[in-house]
């Protein structure tokens, strides 16, 4: 969190307090091993009730939920039972293969040829239901869907091998476990490798990972795409989770930021700036304003589309949750559109089924933009994905009362129920007299029925009114997409695709503040914090003030909190961030040295940049160290190396890690420095080198070793410290971790290793053991690991989980090669037999020929 004595985020902070009602206690499995493979959530609940009669599971029903969505007609009455039935079932597990992974084809082949067959045969209930199958709408069979829930995968003994496979590949970044409907929005974003992409509310990072895959598609080994992704999230702890998730991608084309999405900075370059010698001439920075080709706006929402994986939402749900978030969602979406380039595409999505959070937001955006954007019809894309058109009409409910038009809303409730929540979006002048308004207010508070025709009040908030028809929108909201659970056994999701036709006007860019109750002094302070300069395009470019002093993404007025949003709306799994995460903006220090804050007193804080509690991002310019790295590893001059290295430590003598950034990220960092460091950067760059701190490492010619994350990128560009190992020696290195020079199976390999300089080296798996040459071209299939050439041995510098994954890949590769060799040998033998048989038959035919026949 940084500042005010709060400690650093730790692993324990990632633990969720939510109880998983689908999870079986371990004692059940040990006591009932026979039933562990085919139990259901109901069985689990029954067994727990038997042990603890006072315990009650979450009720998977909510009368208010049923009444609300029946009235909104999100599904037909005939489908309602099936819809509810699916919502009460655990969500099946789904995962996606990382298409940029080196082994993605092997993993897909293993799923298609191994697990699909073996799991079908091992199905315990005797049915012919496929255990796993590819999602038909996801390209190239890279996304898979299981008919088992995540709990069943953990507890079913027949699925143990498959579950271990998923855990291993997920940990190494080869697959991502992700809800099926969550994979949909990036597919409609149409991302290309040259695009600048913004993920506004990115945590926990599964969609960001997907966007990075698209950026890196079709990229050759050792090269980088010209595009990049900026992944943003307000909450610091969720931001750290996002960093952990995206680190598995090993990319230098990513920046992770920590801002309120509705106030994400645009980083305008000042017209009269001073050239900074640290980053060069500003005209060479390449960009003068931060804008994006694609924007993913997966906003905070009430999250009732995730009921199948978060059943505790059943008891928390109420209609006020969506109303309280509508204003924030509009603000975030409008900010996303203002950051979008003309001709660009933006996705607005939620995991909610509430039209107030979905179609109402889309309609309000279209109205505010006044023709600058259009809603794209993507019904012809991904034809195998079952989706439904957006709603054209809906109602708004507030404190148990249904409203069909904004004119029906009492004046004192219009700070909560706004005109933008209704299909028409119309505002109405007050025509009713003061006495009538007062009487209506009294009736509203007492729950009595009004005698007017515009508004019907009810005693029982669970009983809807049917006297008035809802407004019908004239906007093309049918181009939106709704995914419902019972169509293809998934969660629920809403998606809208926008295309920007022209720049927004100044008034369109200015956001409307969320309602918030505060006293006069706090209000004045809030106004002061939001004051900033505006350029001719109406984009805020204040250099002395960041974004952290503004309203939090979870700022909701007190009336809405009283209406029941409370705990459910602020739940982390619903992407809603608590206001207590609102952080105080860093004020510039009066004592600074080289851009770092100097802290006087007994307690010394960490070295900091502009943002409190965040390490600065600095270009690494120590030519002595850089030249020693290039000389030691023989890095080619064609590789863009100098100027692409950064560090997070201002003291060059104590730099532990050096990160590599792509050209696009470099341009953004230069722009950010010139424009006043508007971006609060939590993570950036690919960890390329690490300082070796051991005693032996201190005596090595080069103090920095190549990290596992950076090895695939730099390997094609190094010419020294490389060894080529046979499959046997490579396997032994992974198994035993340290091997003496004399103990290698191939003595020539040990001899070459002993001739290398002391320090880091790279061991490459030789493709063909029969070819002894070391001149092997590096491509996507090249398998290599980082090692340390010691005085008498070679030691592997790879994590245990990576060693395990490589061993399995190597075993699979060797088995495949053996099978291919046997198949080729068998085919050649059959061909020889056929040739011999044909030859014998020909000889017999020749013997039977007579002169008459020849004549």
CA distance 369 to 406: 21
Task: Identify whether the C-beta of residue 14 lies closer than 8 Å to the C-beta of residue 205.
Answer: no
Strands 340-350 and 292-298: parallel
β-strand pairing of 784-789 with 396-398: unpaired
Torsion sign (Cα): 619, 624, 625, 626: positive
Q: Which residue has the tokens 């929402």?
A: 301
Is 593 annotated for ligand binding? no
Q: Is residue 261 annotated as involved in ligand binding?
A: no
Residue 173 annotated as binding site: no
| Surface-to-core class of residue 434, CB atoms within 10 Å of its CB (0-12 exposed, 13-18 middle, 19+ buried) | exposed
Contact present, 416 and 557 (Cβ < 8 Å): yes
For the chain, percent helix, then strand, then coil, each to nearest 5? 40, 15, 45
- Residue 466 CB coordination number (10 Å): 9
**Beta pairing class for 645-647 and 657-660:** antiparallel
Of 726, 644, 338, nearest in space to 506 by CA? 338
> What radius of gyration do the chain's Cα atoms show?
31
Q: How far apart are CA 522 and CA 514, in angstroms?
A: 15
Candidate list 250, 351, 369, 760, residue with the active-site label: 351
Cα-Cα-Cα-Cα dihedral of 53, 58, 63, 68, to 10°? 180
Got the DSSP string for 780-848?
A: TT--EEEEEE-SSEEEE-S-HHHHHHHHHHHHHHHHHHHHHHHHHHHHHHHHHHHHHHHHHHHHHHHHH
HSE-CB of 340 using CA atoms within 13 angstroms: 32
Q: Is 700 marked as binding a ligand? A: no
User: How many CB atoms sit inside 10 A of residue 216's CB?
Assistant: 21
**Which DSSP symbol is given to 230?**
E
> Would you say the C-alpha torsion 209, 214, 220, 224 has a positive or negative sign?
negative
Q: Which among 533, 666, 595, 648 has a CA at the least distance from the CA of 266?
A: 533
Distance from C-alpha of 231 to C-alpha of 200, rounded to nearest angstrom? 6
Q: What is the DSSP letter of 198?
A: E
CA dist 192 and 633 (Å) reads 33
Q: How far is CA 575 from CA 206, 285, 301, 331, 495, in A?
A: 13, 35, 6, 16, 16
DSSP 8-state secondary structure symbol assigned to residue 294: E
- Residue 280 assigned as binding residue: no
* Rounded-to-integer distance, Cα 338 and Cα 264, Å: 10
| DSSP-derived 3-state class of residue 715 | helix
Q: In this structure, what token pair is assigned to residue 126? A: 């005797």
- How many CA within 13 A on the CB side of residue 45? 11
Q: 206 among the known binding-site residues?
A: yes
Q: Is 298 annotated as a binding residue?
A: yes
Q: Report the C-alpha gap between 526 and 540 in whole angstroms.
A: 16
**203 labeled part of a ligand binding site:** yes
Residue with tokens 């940990």: 171
Q: Which of 455, 451, 408 is nearest to 430 (CA)?
A: 408
Round to the nearest angstrom and report the end-to-end CA distance of the chain: 102
819 is in an annotated binding site: no
Q: Is 480 a residue of the active site?
A: no
For residues 201 and 208, give the distance between their C-alpha atoms in angstroms, rounded to a whole number. Answer: 10
Contacts of residue 287, Cβ cutoff 8 Å, sequence gap at least 6:
269, 667, 668, 671
Residues forming the annotated binding site for S-adenosyl-L-methionine?
A: 201-207, 233, 298
Residues forming the annotated binding site?
A: 201-207, 233, 298
Residues carrying an active site annotation: 351
């Amino acid at each position: 969190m940084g500042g005010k004595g709060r400690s650093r985020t730790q692993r324990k902070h990632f633990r969720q307090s939510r109880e998983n009602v689908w999870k079986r206690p371990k004692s059940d499995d040990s006591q009932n091993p026979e039933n562990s493979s085919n139990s259901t959530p109901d069985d689990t609940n029954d067994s727990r009730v038997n042990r603890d009669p006072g315990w009650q599971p979450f009720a998977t029903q909510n009368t208010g939920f049923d009444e609300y969505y029946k009235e909104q007609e999100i599904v037909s009455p005939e489908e309602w039972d099936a819809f509810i039935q699916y919502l009460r079932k655990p969500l099946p597990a789904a995962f996606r293969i990382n298409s940029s992974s080196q082994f993605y084809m092997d993993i897909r082949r293993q799923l298609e040829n191994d697990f699909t067959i073996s799991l079908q045969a091992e199905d315990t209930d005797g049915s012919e239901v496929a255990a796993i199958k590819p999602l038909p709408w996801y390209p190239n069979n890279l996304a898979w869907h299981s008919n088992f829930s995540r709990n069943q995968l953990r507890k079913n003994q027949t699925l143990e091998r498959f579950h271990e496979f998923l855990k291993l590949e997920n940990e190494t970044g080869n697959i991502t476990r992700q809800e099926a409907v969550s994979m949909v929005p990036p597919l409609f974003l149409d991302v290309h490798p040259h695009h600048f992409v913004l993920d506004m509310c990115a945590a926990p990072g599964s969609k960001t990972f997907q966007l990075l895959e698209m950026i890196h598609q079709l990229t050759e080994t050792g090269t980088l795409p010209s595009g990049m992704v900026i992944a943003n999230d307000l909450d610091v702890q969720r931001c750290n989770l996002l960093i952990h998730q995206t680190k598995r991608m090993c990319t230098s084309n990513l920046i992770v930021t920590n801002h309120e999405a509705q106030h994400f900075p645009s980083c305008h370059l000042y017209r009269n700036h001073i050239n900074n010698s640290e980053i060069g001439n500003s005209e060479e920075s390449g960009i003068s304003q931060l804008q994006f080709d694609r924007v993913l706006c997966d906003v905070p929402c009430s999250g009732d589309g995730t009921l199948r994986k978060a059943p505790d939402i059943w008891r928390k749900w109420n209609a006020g949750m969506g109303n309280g978030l509508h204003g924030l969602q509009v603000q975030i979406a409008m900010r996303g559109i203002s950051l979008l380039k003309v001709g660009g595409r933006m996705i607005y999505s939620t995991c909610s089924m509430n039209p107030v959070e979905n179609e109402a937001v889309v309609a309000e955006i279209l109205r505010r933009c006044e023709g600058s954007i259009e809603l794209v019809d993507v019904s012809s894309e991904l034809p195998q994905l079952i989706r439904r058109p957006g709603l054209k009409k809906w109602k708004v409910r507030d404190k148990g009362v249904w409203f069909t038009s904004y004119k029906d809303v009492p004046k004192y409730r219009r700070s909560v129920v706004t005109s933008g929540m209704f299909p028409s979006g119309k505002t109405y002048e007050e025509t009713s007299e003061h006495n009538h308004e007062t009487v209506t207010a009294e009736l509203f508070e007492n729950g009595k029925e009004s005698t007017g025709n515009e508004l019907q009040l009810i005693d029982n908030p669970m009983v809807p009114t049917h006297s008035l028809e809802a407004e019908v929108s004239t906007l093309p909201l049918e181009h939106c997409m709704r995914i419902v659970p019972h169509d293809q056994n998934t969660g629920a999701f809403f998606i809208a695709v926008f295309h920007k036709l022209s720049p927004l006007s100044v008034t369109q860019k200015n956001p409307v503040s969320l309602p918030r109750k505060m006293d006069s002094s706090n209000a004045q302070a809030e106004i002061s914090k939001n004051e900033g300069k505006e350029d001719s395009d109406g984009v805020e470019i204040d250099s002395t003030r960041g974004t952290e002093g503004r309203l939090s993404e979870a700022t909701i007025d007190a009336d809405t909190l009283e209406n029941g949003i409370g705990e459910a709306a602020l739940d982390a799994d619903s992407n809603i961030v608590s206001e207590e995460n609102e952080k105080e903006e860093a004020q510039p220090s009066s004592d600074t040295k080289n851009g770092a804050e100097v802290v006087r007193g007994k307690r010394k804080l960490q070295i900091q940049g502009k943002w409190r509690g965040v390490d600065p991002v600095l270009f690494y310019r120590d030519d002595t160290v850089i030249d020693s790295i290039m000389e030691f590893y023989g890095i080619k001059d064609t590789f863009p190396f100098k100027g692409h290295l950064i560090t997070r430590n201002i003291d060059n003598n104590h730099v532990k890690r050096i990160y590599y950034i792509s050209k696009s990220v470099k341009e953004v960092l230069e722009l950010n420095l010139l424009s006043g460091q508007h971006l609060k950067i939590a993570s950036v760059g690919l960890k390329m080198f690490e300082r070796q701190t051991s005693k032996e490492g201190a005596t090595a010619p080069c103090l920095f070793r190549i990290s596992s994350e950076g090895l695939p990128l730099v390997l094609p560009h190094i010419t020294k410290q490389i060894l080529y190992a046979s499959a046997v020696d490579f396997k032994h290195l992974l198994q035993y971790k340290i091997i003496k020079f004399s103990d290698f199976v191939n003595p020539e390999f040990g001899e070459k290793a002993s001739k290398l300089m002391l320090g880091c080296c790279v061991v490459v798996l030789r493709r063909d053991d029969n070819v002894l040459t070391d001149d092997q071209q590096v491509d996507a299939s090249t398998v290599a690991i980082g090692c340390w050439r010691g005085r008498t041995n070679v030691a592997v510098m790879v994590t245990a989980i990576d060693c395990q994954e490589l061993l399995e890949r190597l075993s699979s590769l060797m088995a495949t090669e053996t099978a291919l060799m046997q198949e080729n040998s068998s085919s050649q033998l059959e061909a020889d037999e056929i040739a011999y048989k044909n030859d014998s038959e020909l000889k017999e035919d020749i013997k039977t020929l007579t002169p008459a026949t020849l004549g």
